[in-house]
């Protein structure tokens, strides 16, 4: 069975019997990030995460392009839909804006570097997934509402609200990594997040 795209635990050394981050680059920071596109070929944990998220993000515009074929559009002042159908889209976007930046929770201070890096990577992956789910939910919500309202304008509205959130919250750019690192270290912890992300990715 193929491994999940975002395993819950980082892969440890063979036979270690516990999670771990072999070859973590302790002391590394944002300055060692080669950039989004360059990191895709770097073979690092961050590069692999970025590649997966890029595929998920780039899959959205083609769906938008075929949405008129899915939704039977109707003419009307509000794109064929009654105004209250737009309310869930706005509320879901506000939820993503409010909840997304609050993930992950701050780490406890005083952890050994290996354990801190291990935990930081776990929380980073979870945070990216939660943020992705919140933003993607805004986009996906637009489709059933568009079908119910008979207007692809609803899906376009959901896409217009959700896609920027997807880029700003979930895409693991250097800025996103830094913001998550700062949140992890809010309580005075040293997360060693960059050390974990710039480590070579496990093969397989």
* Tens-digit pLDDT profile for residues 146-172: 887 777 888 889 999 999 999 999 999
**What share of the chain has pLDDT > 70, as a percent?**
81
Say what the pLDDT of residue 147 is: 80
Is the pLDDT reported for residue 46 higher than 90?
yes
* CA–CA separation, 107 and 115 (whole Å): 11
* Tens-digit pLDDT profile for residues 102-138: 999 999 999 999 999 999 999 999 999 999 999 999 9
Is the pLDDT reported for residue 19 higher than 80?
no
* CA–CA separation, 61 and 52 (whole Å): 16
Say what the pLDDT of residue 71 is: 64
Say what the pLDDT of residue 28 is: 83
End-to-end CA distance of the chain: 12
Tell me, letter by letter, the H, E, C secondary structure of 9-53: CCCCCCCCCCCCCCCCCCCCCHHHCCCHHHHCCCCEHHHHHHHHH
Distance, CA of 71 to chain centre: 28
**Mean pLDDT for the chain?**
84
Residues 181-187, mean pLDDT to the nearest whole number: 95
Residues 12-25, mean pLDDT to the nearest whole number: 53
């Amino acid at each position: 069975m193929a491994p999940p795209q975002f395993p819950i635990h980082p892969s440890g050394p063979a036979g270690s019997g516990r999670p771990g981050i072999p070859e973590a680059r302790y002391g590394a920071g944002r300055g060692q990030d080669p950039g989004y596109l360059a990191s895709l070929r770097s073979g690092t944990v961050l590069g692999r995460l970025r590649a997966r998220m890029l595929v998920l993000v780039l899959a959205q515009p083609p769906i938008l392009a075929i949405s008129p074929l899915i939704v039977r559009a109707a003419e009307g002042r509000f794109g064929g839909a009654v105004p209250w159908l737009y309310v869930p889209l706005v509320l879901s976007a506000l939820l993503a804006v409010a909840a997304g930046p609050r993930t992950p929770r701050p780490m406890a201070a005083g952890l050994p570097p290996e354990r801190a890096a291990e935990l930081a990577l776990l929380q980073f992956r979870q945070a990216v997934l939660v943020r992705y789910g919140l933003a993607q939910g805004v986009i996906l919500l637009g489709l059933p509402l568009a079908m119910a309202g008979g207007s692809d304008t609803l899906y376009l509205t959901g896409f217009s609200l959700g896609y920027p959130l997807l880029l700003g919250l979930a895409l693991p750019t250097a800025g996103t990594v830094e913001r998550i690192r700062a949140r992890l270290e809010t309580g005075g912890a040293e997360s060693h997040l960059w050390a974990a992300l710039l480590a070579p990715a496990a093969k397989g």
